[in-house]
Amino acid sequence: MKAAVLREVGKPLEIEDVQIDKPGPHEVLIQTSAAGVCHSDLHFQNGAYFYPMPAVLGHESAGVVEQVGAEVRYVAPGDHVITCLSVFCGHCEYCLRGRPALCRKEGLRRTPDETQRLSQKGEPMNQFLDLSSYAEQMLVHENAVVKITKDMPLDRAALVGCGVTTGIGAVQNSAKVPAGSSVAVIGCGGVGLSAIQGARLAGAARIIAVDMVESKLELAKVFGATDSVNASDGNAVANVMEMTGGGVEFAFEAIGLKATSEQAFAMLRPGGTATIIGMIPLGQTVEVPGVDFLSEKRLQGSLMGGASFRVEMPRYVDLYLQGRLNLDDLVSKRIPLEQVNQAFADMEKGEVARSVILFD
């Protein structure tokens, strides 16, 4: 099968032939239909985070089940599925406490002495985040998929596999934004726009979109932003404070930068909560004034929106089919696998919400 392989940090992905194994007892072989190009993949390509190489990247995807292992009962060939990097074991402390996104992933991967899921010329190929969806097929543990209705377009379903769930979940699960709240979202890419939608669905009264690209601020209004702040003048915090008369109750950072994370905290009114969704590069620290904790301001993280994905992803699919969740405008470009490096370049320039790779 064709796959996009990362062989060296900072270098373009290479489209190569990669071999994929047959399903083990609890594994599912999927024909990949669509894969979103997410900023998380770029973090590993540019060295902000590390993953063993060579690796087939990609983690936001949807497809059709081809084969299942002997013990799989949840899905069958022909089922349409969304994949999720939050593969869960179901029996560790975090799973049992209802936090599967933090699962220890015990027994979910093949052991080193077993044939690996991906290989090339007899040598193992690393599987990225238990998925590797920049490929024509995926071989994953059954607990990495959620079955969805065949009425759902798979190019939009793929976005639910990471960005949509991460953004909406950060609002509704991690921060638990109540109706009538004031919200600021820094960064209007795919995750930020999903956080804006999450705030709208939660009934937030005021949703302020913050970005440096005017076209993305206009797009944010399509997703539910009531106000916008262009941060290119360097006065984003002051502008939000002035607009709200003292700050927002909830702020979300959806870029992954030290500076914008600190800005999210600075935009809070007393008692407010800042949630960092973006992946801040390894080795960087976030600094906030210690005195602000005396006014009960909170700074927290969010992983995959704190979601129980097999419960929440089908709900997002239903909301889309009901016309209450906008996924159509999240797709900026539909591209073949061979254009994945251009999609990375577009993302670095801030020109797209999401590029989606389509497979024949």
Residues 183 and 264 sit within 8 Å (Cβ to Cβ) = no
Please provide residue 262's backbone torsions phi and psi, each rounded to the nearest 5 degrees.
-65, -35
Phi, psi (rounded to 5 degrees) for 319: -60, -40
Q: Are 302 and 275 in contact (CB under 8 A)?
A: yes
What is the amino acid identity at position 268? L
Give residues with Cβ within 8 angstroms of 113, minimum separation 6. none
Please say whether the beta carbons of 164 and 198 come within 8 A: no
* Inter-helix orientation angle 190-202/214-223, to 10°: 30
- Tell me the HSE value of 109 on the side-chain side, using a 13 A CA sphere: 17
Q: With H, G, I as helix, E, B as strand and everything else as coil, classify residue 56.
A: strand
- Using an 8 Å Cβ cutoff, are 3 and 135 in contact? yes
Catalytic residues: 38, 40, 43, 59, 162
Return all residues near 198 (Cβ < 8 A) that are at least 6 apart. Answer: 167, 168, 169, 170, 171, 172, 177
CB-neighbour burial class of residue 144 (10 A; exposed 0-12, middle 13-18, buried 19+): buried
Pairing of strands 27-37, 14-17: unpaired
Q: What are phi and psi of 43, to 5 degrees?
A: -55, -35
Distance, CA of 145 to CA of 88 (rounded, Å): 10
* CB-CB neighbours of 99 under 10 Å: 18
| CA pair distance 354, 351, nearest whole angstrom | 9
Q: Do the strands 248-253 and 268-276 form a parallel or antiparallel pair, or are they unpaired?
A: parallel
CA separation for the pair 86, 300 (Å, rounded): 19
